[in-house]
Structure 1
């Protein structure tokens, strides 16, 4: 009998599910904060939410690294994508999700380091204050962080739409595999 902690060909294990849904909650927080910023502008709610953006982004980066390492350790156990065109597209969609999830906070952290301001999310010092800006470190995030973050949101929306399609129209066990109902 497979462990409830690890993945199996029939369903994702508890560790995969906690990482998936925990990251979903953190992404919802991030996108909610940026949406509030765009809609309300300067406002106390905006200040609070935007004030948490970098520390929560750092937590997301840690979760992404943990999820990537865990996913690799479970690679051969996981529920497989079907060997069809739709299965291949699902694999490409997941690869795009992971690529964007890794790239966006990586360039943000690179920008933080290059800013010279220092960085201590949740009071944990990651980068010391140097007072010197390093333009090439800041450029990738300045050019792409925001635009690719909104692109990630669109890809996440597509991911959710496909889950709805699987659940409502195709009536298969795709949602149950990640929701823990198998």
Structure 2
């Protein structure tokens, strides 16, 4: 079934979740590698790939939010403080999956270098060319990404623990 049900995740939600997860598993090490590189002609394509994949995550998250309005996800299993913590972590992860690509776009715009997706689509600049904007946006991008990695580790750890406890949370996201 494509849509979510009261107790199960539909195919669309699961496909979006795992597609975004796969992209992020590429983005995080790529971004970490890029942070240690001096930009040059030999590695410029890596920056383009990072921007392209980041904006793809942004677009898929927008689709995911619209989909969740149309087909709300099932309520989390369990209750109490753990359900509240799970909701808080989920919403923070969602916010960061928008904020991180946007801050990268702002930072790129502030450098004066175009944000070109997949060597085809040039996004408009969303910030003035400015060292101050560039510095602030890259700092935010870095801090937000580190927070995201911590929350992602917490999210994965909690999903694995709950699965080992036998509550079926992870199974619901894999099989529906």
Instruction: Tell me the TM-score range normalised by the shorter chain.
Output: 0.7 to 0.9
Choose from 136, 142, 154 the match for 2:150: 154
Q: Which residue of 1 aligns with 2:57?
A: 60
Q: Secondary structure at the match of 1:6?
A: coil
**Is contact 1:11–1:79 with CA below 8 Å preserved after alignment?**
yes
Structure 2: which 5+ residue stretches go unaligned? Answer: none
Conserved? CA contact 1:166–1:175, under 8 Å: yes
Counting only pairs closer than 5 Å after superposition, residues 31-180 of structure 1 correspond to structure 2 as: 31-37=28-34, 47=43, 49-75=46-72, 78-81=73-76, 82-122=78-118, 123-127=120-124, 133-134=129-130, 137-168=133-164, 170-180=165-175
Query: 3-state SS of the aligned residue for 1:125?
Result: strand
What is the number of residues matched between the two proteins?
A: 171
Task: Tell me the TM-score normalised to structure 2 length.
Answer: 0.83
Deviation of 1:147 (Å): 2.0
Compared with structure 1, are the counterparts of its residues 173 and 23 closer, same or farther at alpha carbon in structure 2 (3 Å cutoff)? same
1:139-163: CA deviations, max 9, x gaps? 5422210121122111111111001
- The answer to whether the 8 A contact 1:100-1:152 is kept is yes
C-alpha distance after superposition, 1:79-101 (max 9, x if no partner) = 21244211111111111111111
CA distance in 2, matches of 1:177, 1:140: 40
C-alpha RMSD over aligned residues:
2.7
Give the conservation status (yes or no) of the 8 Å contact 2:7–2:74: yes
Stretches of structure 1 lacking an aligned partner (at least 5 in a row): none
What is the rounded CA distance, in whole Å, between the counterparts of 1:7 and 1:140 in structure 2?
A: 40
Q: Aligned residue for 1:28?
A: 25
**What is the TM-score with the length of structure 1 in the denominator?**
0.81
Alpha-carbon contact 1:120-1:127 (below 8 Å) kept = no
Offset of 1:19 from its aligned partner?
0.6
Q: State whether residues 107 and 140 of structure 1, in contact with CA within 8 Å, keep that contact through their aligned partners in structure 2.
A: no
